[in-house]
Structure 1
């Protein structure tokens, strides 16, 4: 019986040492958590859930929408450009990746085209806050034909940029949320062919 009590005592001591070690190592960083956006935990939980479900890191950090059956890539593209114009967000570039693949390989390629949208003044304010936001610029929507021939729209999960760390200044956060809503509207209406 004494052996069992000694083992419990040893385990307790090891637990106390582990807690002290963790507090010393992580303590200074933990104070930053108090400055995080109120939706940070929710954002990381959603990313973690998708990561666990799919085992795919990129899949966990994007949003995707299926394109309605019967819509062509040209119809989706036309709709997305119309909606972007309606929201006064510029189409600043397009990369028809499938054409480049076909030119290099000499073989047909499934459709993959990247559309880049930007509100220059919001982008400038994001960069004034942190140069790391440049990796999110411009906002990209990719139209992808999957291996079964179905079209999908993909974009980065902007919640990570908006809610994933310390609180953004209120005006900047409001602008970032507005851009997120515009990109999602472009995708939603593009995927449905809704002018």
Structure 2
């Protein structure tokens, strides 16, 4: 005759119930406090975000969004630049001559140019792809900018780089000033217009030179 197994019911004491209630109460309080902290943090971040956006002008968020997209596609260094590829039939000599011609027409003084690839070759003893830096300046606008904030000296003069990439494609590149200008607090709109006009002229120079105009 088979034996029946007898299971003993666990005995729950009043002390056990008291501990369970205290534990449940502690968990409830913890979750409530955590929820309050989360709400408080969300409010703080919202207020900080509102305060930060008031520092910039209404166009900054759009430019910043495009900047982030470019970082995700390339990297930080590339995302900060505006680049135009040269047409295959355009030579370096033609491009340099065109840059100088348009700079003179647009009242941008060529302060200096230096073939960076030659310096790299001299240091490493190995040939390097073509890379030349051109520095342009509009003295009146530069003076206005520096009077407003001398830290702008870091971004002067305006640079255009003519370089060859690893695939032998030639490019013209310059720093995108939109984030800098639209993200600067309290800048006089007239100053901003002048600098953006210079950037527009630089892009016209680059576009014309890249297409052999």
Distance 1:75 1:152 in 2: 13
What residue number does 2:58 align with?
38
TM-score by length of structure 2 reads: 0.80
Closer, same or farther: CA 13–163 of 1 in aligned 2, 3 Å: same
Gaps of 5+ in 2: 1-25
What residue number does 1:115 align with?
134
Distance 1:48 1:109 in 2: 31
Which of 68, 74, 80 is the equivalent residue of 2:87? Answer: 68
The alpha carbon displacement at 1:131 in A equals 2.2
Closer, same or farther: CA 16–191 of 1 in aligned 2, 3 Å: farther
Output one character per residue of 1:131-178: Cα deviation in whole Å (capped at 9) or x when no partner.
222221111010111112110011111101221232521210111111
Larger Rg over CA atoms: 2
Gaps of 5+ in 1: 1-5
Q: Which has the higher contact order (CA 8 A, sep 6+)?
A: 1
What residue number does 1:135 align with?
154
SS of match in other structure, 1:149: coil
Q: Which moved more, 1:104-113 or 1:31-40?
A: 31-40
Q: Which runs of 4+ in 1 moved over 3 A?
A: 6-13, 21-30
* Matched positions, count: 192
Distance 1:152 1:132 in 2: 29
